[in-house]
Copies of this chain bind each other. A is one copy, B any other.
Amino acid sequence: MPFVSIRLAGTATKDQKSAIVADVTQSLVTRLGKNPAAVQIVIEEVSPENYGAGGQLLADRDAPKPQEDAHAESSQ
């Protein structure tokens, strides 16, 4: 206790995940006086094909524009 679940869109490096675990644990120790050994944290790296925002999958929202559209726009 406490248990923290962090869902990220995309991936993070091991060092980034390690730093986040240290930061979040420190916050719960400092703010609530929790025993760090009791703080459990799970980081879930979610593929952009499985994460939606604004009604779209991030994979679609962030997909590079097809060349044709890009060319048509730039020559207008």
Contact = CB atoms under 8 A, between A and B. Distances in A.
A24 B52 CA distance: 10
Given A26-B55, A28-B20, A31-B19, A49 B4 contact: no
Interface in A47-70: 49-60
B4 A16 contact: no
Contacts of A39: 52-55
A51 B55 contact: no
Contacts of A42: 3, 7, 44, 46, 50-52
A16 B31 contact: yes
25 contacts: A1-B58, A2-B6, A2-B8, A3-B3, A4-B5, A4-B6, A5-B5, A7-B42, A8-B32, A12-B32, A17-B50, A17-B52, A18-B57, A19-B27, A20-B28, A23-B26, A24-B27, A25-B55, A36-B54, A36-B55, A39-B54, A40-B40, A42-B50, A43-B51, A43-B52
